[in-house]
Chain A
Amino acid sequence: MADPSPTIFAITEDVLDLDELVSRITLPTSGAACLFTGMVRGITRRGDAHETLYLEYEAYQPMAEAKMRQVAEEIRQRWPSVEGIAIVQRIGRLDPGTPTVLIACTAAHRDTGVFEAARYGIDRLKEIVPVWKKEVSPQGETWVEGDYRPDSGDIQAGSSPV
């Protein structure tokens, strides 16, 4: 029998196969999937306009996968009608146009919170999943730094105190 709540979370150096990932979280009862993917933007116009040659991603893999699991659990608590969840971050050198991340949620119908769940997933990944990127532009290399500072509320519920 199919897993009633398939959950995929991974850090990978491989190409993100969006179709394959969505199919892995599609159940016989699924009728809707909301998929967010981000890709490397070669030309930035908003704010500090600049060109990007490529991004170099790295992760603290075991913690990143643990925090992805936490994000998936938070989605399930908030949107119990979500059936499948996939959260995958690609790392390594990634050129403009390349998908870097995928958050996908499936549900029986589109009005059950799948859009909000996927949005929550990418926002939360950018807060608590330990992944970093270095931007390489014609002007040189710069680490991109996030602005979220986790607090005790970002610790996984039920994780053992240190």
Chain B
Amino acid sequence: MNEIKVLFFAQLRDRADMRETQMELPETTLVSDLKLLLAERFPGLREAIPTALVAVNREFAFNEDPIPDGAEVALFPPVSGG
């Protein structure tokens, strides 16, 4: 199993009602698999996950990307800085 940390920002943090969580994932988990797992574990996130952006180790990641052991994963909405 891979151990990872998941961070939530902005609306995603409000919806999850937490800043971060630890998860154990099978070694072959992809970003798309993690989204499904998160939607199961945190019902409040369900609506927001389809449009959420994902970063793995501080770089944008996409559905087909794998999640390596020890990864720092972040979920957040499209950015609105400036």
Contacts and interface: CB of A to CB of B under 8 A. Distances in A.
Verify that A and B bind, or say they do not: yes
Contact of B82 (A38, A152, A154, A156): A38
Interface in B23-76: 53, 55-62, 65-68, 71, 74, 76
Contacts of A159: 59
Nearest to B10: A132
Given A60-B7, A60-B9, A162-B66, A146 B59 contact: no
A162 B71 contact: yes
Interface in A109-162: 122, 125-134, 143-152, 154-156, 159, 162
Contacts of B68: 162
B59 A101 contact: no
Interface of B: 7, 9-11, 14, 53, 55-62, 65-68, 71, 74, 76-82
21 contacts: A58-B9, A89-B82, A125-B82, A130-B55, A130-B74, A130-B76, A130-B79, A131-B81, A132-B10, A132-B76, A132-B77, A143-B11, A143-B14, A144-B80, A145-B11, A145-B77, A146-B79, A147-B78, A152-B60, A162-B65, A162-B68
A149 B65 contact: no
Given A132-B9, A162-B66, A146 B78 contact: yes
A123 to B, nearest CB: 9
A79 interface: no
A97 to B, nearest CB: 16
Contact of A162 (B56, B74, B80): B56
Nearest to B67: A162
Nearest to B54: A150
